[in-house]
């Protein structure tokens, strides 16, 4: 019962949703661990990424930093550019090996992507290829703001084109003053052929434990 979390864009709440999923499955008594294969930006002086720290805090299985976050770069740019800046090439085999080590220790692994679904990893591969190589169903985080319908449907098309299962989606309200929020929600419900797992209202300081209460992970088993 492992999943790949992607988003309609960068900064739409992938980490919040990933942590909420970890909390929700942990509440069911499962051993859970989060993974951020590639992170660009948000690193501290020790090279530890903020998203990875949040995932680790929400995990019941404590693994090594090299397992949960194999690649961490300082520059907040597309991963292939951040890697090129420091003379590194992102290797898919290293990501796969780390994932397998985590999967051997946990009942649930939540793998969080970086940026959007088609962000480049290197000269040949994209973030989407991580989900393909790991054979994971995808959970889509839709940042509810102007333009979200187009971004969401294009991402759904890209997921399907990769031959991946869209297990469900989460609506995260980014703009507290978004006009016709309910109308946008209805348009997405009609067009996305996957269950809506939950709606996260706008929060100035997001709380993953509170957000977990708004998720219906039972829908993932259907």
Which positions are annotated as active-site residues? Answer: 36
Phi, psi of 144 (to 5 degrees): -75, 100
Cβ distance 79 to 40 under 8 Å? yes
- What tokens does 200 get? 């996260």
CA dist., res. 85 & res. 93, Å (int): 21
Instruction: Give the span between the Cα atoms of 43 and 110, in whole angstroms.
Output: 20
Query: What's the token pair of residue 219?
Result: 């829908």
Q: Are 22 and 108 in contact (CB under 8 A)?
A: yes
Bridge partners of residue 200, in order along the sequence: 172
| Torsion sign (Cα): 212, 65, 51, 136 | negative
Q: How many other C-beta atoms lie within 10 A of the C-beta of residue 88?
A: 14
């Amino acid at each position: 019962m492992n999943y790949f979390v992607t988003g309609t864009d960068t900064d739409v709440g992938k980490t919040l949703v990933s942590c909420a999923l970890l909390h929700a499955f942990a509440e069911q008594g499962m051993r859970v661990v989060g993974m951020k294969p590639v992170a660009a930006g948000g690193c501290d002086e020790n090279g530890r990424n903020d998203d990875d720290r949040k995932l680790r805090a929400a995990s019941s299985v404590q693994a090594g930093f090299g397992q949960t976050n194999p690649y961490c770069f300082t520059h907040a740019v597309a991963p292939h550019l951040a890697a090129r800046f420091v003379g590194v090439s992102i290797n898919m085999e290293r990501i796969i090996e780390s994932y397998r080590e985590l999967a051997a220790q946990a009942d649930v692994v939540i793998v969080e992507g970086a940026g959007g679904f088609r962000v480049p990893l290197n000269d040949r591969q994209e973030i989407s290829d991580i989900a393909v190589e790991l054979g994971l169903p995808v959970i889509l985080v839709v940042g509810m703001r102007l333009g979200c319908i187009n971004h969401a449907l294009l991402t759904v098309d890209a997921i399907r084109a990769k031959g991946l299962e869209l297990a469900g989606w989460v609506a995260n309200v980014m703009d507290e003053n978004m006009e016709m929020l309910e109308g946008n929600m209805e348009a997405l419900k009609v067009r996305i052929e996957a269950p809506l797992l939950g709606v996260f209202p706008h929060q100035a300081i997001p709380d993953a434990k509170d957000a977990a209460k708004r998720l219906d992970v039972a829908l993932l088993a259907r």
